[in-house]
Amino acid sequence: MGNLHTTGTKQALDVETIRSQFPILHQQVNSRPLIYFDNAASNQKPELVIKALEHYYHCDHANIHRGVHTLAERATTAYEETRKITADFINAPEAEEVIFTKGTTEGINLVASAYGRAFLQEGDEVLISNMEHHSNIVPWQLLCEEKGLILKVLPLKDNGEIKWEVLDQLLTPKTKMVSLVHASNTLGTINPIKNVIRQAHDLGALVMIDGAQAAAHLEIDVQDLDCDFYAFSSHKMYGPTGVGVLYGKRRLLEKMKPYQGGGEMIKEVSFEGTTFSDIPHKFEAGTPNIADVVAFKQAIEFIEGIGKSSIAAHEDQLLKQATEQWSKIPGFRAVGTAQQKVAVLSFVMEGIHHFDLGVMLDAKGIAVRTGHHCTQPLMECYGIEGTVRASFSAYNTEEEVDIMSGHLKDITNKLRS
């Protein structure tokens, strides 16, 4: 395996080899070597993914599922090949249960719209948590307004975990849908979704999982989890933007209404009535993002080539190092200190606005995200406006964490002197 080397009994990532596969990392930003710590927003793409896009447009492009000519067949085969590989990646029983979307946001909207509109009724309850990304809040709010549903919210503890002791009060026979984030983009918290799924099913509720921050880091086995729907985005897992995946159980997808109407999702159209294609095509109206879906296959193979657990172990090490080093800086406070975390470190620095800190770090070539991270209710819960967030990927190094530690110390010293 090219990206691994063995140190004693432990397998560590060969980060230099991995870095060499990411052209974008080898540049100066503001006259310093780029340090890219904004991976939770979107991570960078290896050469193989970029080349796959180029190859597709150079050699294979045509519209899919409709032509008899050679290019149409090649493009269709490549697109459907990604579907199969994606199904294996999450251990979906069938490739037809994988729907390509624009991203996690569209996956959640699809379920809220195509399942929620048809099957939830006035007075039914939808349960989410206080740590959800806006894309797992607003679609449910819109649905609740439209259908007279009630939105219930699981509260948070100070350390960024959900107060699971109140689950029994909030999850009731009236709950018809639970929609929960697998790993929080702001806090890093990994939720014990398997337990929640079991409890929700015991009461007859369906469960949708927002896996945007989990897909590149945690093993996902939708059969073992037994989730009803699971959504994630390619661009957070070394793949192209504009591609997402919605997994759904066949029996649910089959009874759902189409999300959008148009070409490719029909069997027969007449003015008397229209019949729809089978899944997954029923949910993929119009010409999809063929090129990016085709290249997404390379992103999955990149992750599997290294091994998710090796990537996660490396990222955990960086998280541990950053948490230890930065916690020693006067005024630093981590937001989100759950037991189980993905490699996301959000923090506030007393007396320094997060935007200012973000701009000063950018001047040193370091990319972090600042602000509310599309989790405003979470910010409100902790009485803050925003945080600085560093998030790590396979290509980040201990040296980069050290460099950021040095700059954080300098910046805070200067501003306080």
Residues assigned a catalytic role: 374
Angle between helix 354-363 and 398-416 (nearest 10): 120
Q: Which is nearer to ligand 7TS, 38 or 124 (CB)?
A: 38
> Within positions 115 to 174, which residues make up the interface with ligand 7TS, using CB under 6 A?
133, 135-136
Which CB sits closer to ligand 7TS, 74 or 369?
A: 369
Minimal distance in Å, beta carbon 213 to ligand 7TS? 5
Residue choice 13, 18, 35, 40 for contact with ligand 7TS (CB under 6 A) = 40
Q: Which residues of 9-32 are buried (b: 16+ CB within 10 A; e: fewer)?
A: eebebbbeebbbbbeebeeeeeee
- Rounded distance between C-alpha atoms, residue 55 and residue 298, angstroms: 12
If one asks whether residue 288 binds ligand 7TS (CB under 6 A), the answer comes out as no
Question: Which residues within the stretch 186-215 sit at the binding site for ligand 7TS (CB under 6 A)?
Answer: 210, 212-213
| Minimum distance, C-beta of residue 3 to ligand 7TS, in the bound complex (Å) | 25
Closest CA to 296 of 348, 367, 353, 237: 237
Tokens of 60: 């294979």
Q: Binder to ligand 7TS among 4, 12, 34, 41 (CB under 6 A)?
A: 41
Instruction: Report which secondary-structure segment, H or E, holds 178.
Output: strand 175-181
211 or 365: CB nearest ligand 7TS: 211
Nearest to 344 by CA among 191, 130, 220, 184: 184
d(CA 23, CA 120): 48
- Asked if 239 is part of the footprint of ligand 7TS (rule: CB under 6 A), the reply reads no
Question: Minimum distance between the CB of residue 276 and ligand 7TS, rounded to whole angstroms?
Answer: 25
Measured CA to CA, the distance from residue 396 to residue 315 in angstroms comes to 8
Interface residue with ligand 7TS, options 46, 103, 258, 280 (CB under 6 A): 103
Region from 196-204, 305-313, 369-377, 408-416 binding ligand 7TS, contact rule CB under 6 A = 369-377
Nearer to ligand 7TS, 78 or 190 (CB): 190
The residues binding ligand 7TS (CB under 6 A) are 40-41, 103-105, 133, 135-136, 181, 185, 210, 212-213, 233, 369, 373-374
